[in-house]
C-alpha cells in the first residue's frame, strides 16, 4: 500500500482506484502493519476539463470499497481497529454532532443520509458542489445503517459494540 503516512499513531491511507478493486487485500495489509487507527482518503484527481481522471477513485468503487472494508471490520475488529469514517458515523448515530462543517447550500438538503456527511465529504471538501463521491458515501451510509443502529443500541445498554461480532458470527 503506497500513500500511507503515520501521524500521531493514526495512519492516513490514500486509497487508490486499485485499492478499491481489492478491498479485502487492502484491509488485510493494513491489519498486518499493526496500526490500530486509520483515516481513509480517496485518491481524487481531475483532468484538464475538471472531471475525475481515469486514475481517480470512482463513486461506485468507493462505495463498494467502504462496504467491503466495513464488512470485515464489523465482523472482526470493532473497537480493535478505529477507522475514522466508521467511528464518526457511529458517533452521529449516537447523537453526537458531525466533526465536519456543513455545506447546506448544495443539493443535499433532502438526502436521507445528509446528517452523516452534512452536505460535504466526511474526509475533506473537494468543491462547493455535491461531492464527487456522493453516491459511494450514500451506499456506505445506507449499507452500514443496520449495524450502526445495533452498535448504538448495545452502547445504550452499556454493553460493548464488540458483541455485534459474536451476533454476526452466530447468524452466519
pLDDT score for 123: 46
Give pTM, 2 decimals: 0.84
Print pLDDT tens along the chain (172 aa). Answer: 445 544 446 789 999 999 999 999 999 999 999 999 999 999 999 889 888 888 899 999 999 999 999 999 999 999 999 999 999 999 999 998 766 555 554 566 677 666 666 655 554 444 455 678 889 999 999 999 999 999 999 999 999 999 999 999 998 7
Which domains are assigned to the chain?
Answer: 4-171 (3.20.20.70)
Task: Specify the length of the chain in residues.
Answer: 172
Written as nine digits, the cell of 68 is 467491503
DSSP letter for each residue of 100-120: S---TTSTTTT-TTHHHHTTS
Report how far residue 78's alpha carbon sits from residue 160's, in angstroms, rounded to the nearest whole number: 9
Helices (H), the chain: 17-21, 23-32, 59-76, 84-93, 114-117, 134-156, 163-171
Return d(Cα 91, Cα 76) in angstroms, integer: 20
First-last CA distance in the chain = 31
pLDDT in tens, 129-143: 567 888 999 999 999
In the prediction, which pLDDT does 36 show?
93
What confidence tens digit (pLDDT) does each residue in 79-106 have?
999 999 999 999 999 998 766 555 554 5
Q: How far apart are CA 163 and CA 151, in angstroms?
A: 8
Determine the Cα–Cα distance for residues 165 and 167; give it in Å rounded to an integer.
Answer: 5
Amino acid at each position: 500500500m503506497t500513500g500511507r503516512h503515520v501521524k500521531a499513531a493514526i495512519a492516513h491511507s490514500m486509497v487508490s482506484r486499485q485499492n478499491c478493486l481489492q478491498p479485502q487485500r487492502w484491509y488485510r495489509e493494513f491489519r498486518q502493519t499493526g496500526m490500530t487507527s486509520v483515516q481513509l482518503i480517496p485518491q481524487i484527481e481531475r483532468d484538464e476539463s475538471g472531471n475525475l481522471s481515469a486514475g481517480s477513485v470512482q463513486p461506485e468503487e468507493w462505495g463498494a470499497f467502504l462496504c467491503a472494508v466495513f464488512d470485515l471490520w464489523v465482523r472482526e475488529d470493532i473497537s480493535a481497529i478505529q477507522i475514522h469514517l466508521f467511528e464518526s458515523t457511529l458517533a452521529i448515530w449516537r447523537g453526537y454532532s458531525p466533526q465536519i462543517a456543513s455545506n447546506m447550500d448544495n443539493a443535499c438538503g433532502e438526502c436521507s443520509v445528509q446528517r452523516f456527511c452534512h452536505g460535504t465529504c466526511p474526509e475533506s471538501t473537494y468543491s462547493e458542489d455535491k461531492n464527487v463521491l456522493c453516491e459511494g458515501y450514500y451506499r456506505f451510509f445506507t449499507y452500514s445503517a443496520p449495524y450502526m443502529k445495533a452498535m448504538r443500541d448495545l452502547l445504550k445498554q452499556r454493553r460493548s459494540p464488540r458483541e455485534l461480532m459474536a451476533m454476526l458470527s452466530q447468524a452466519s
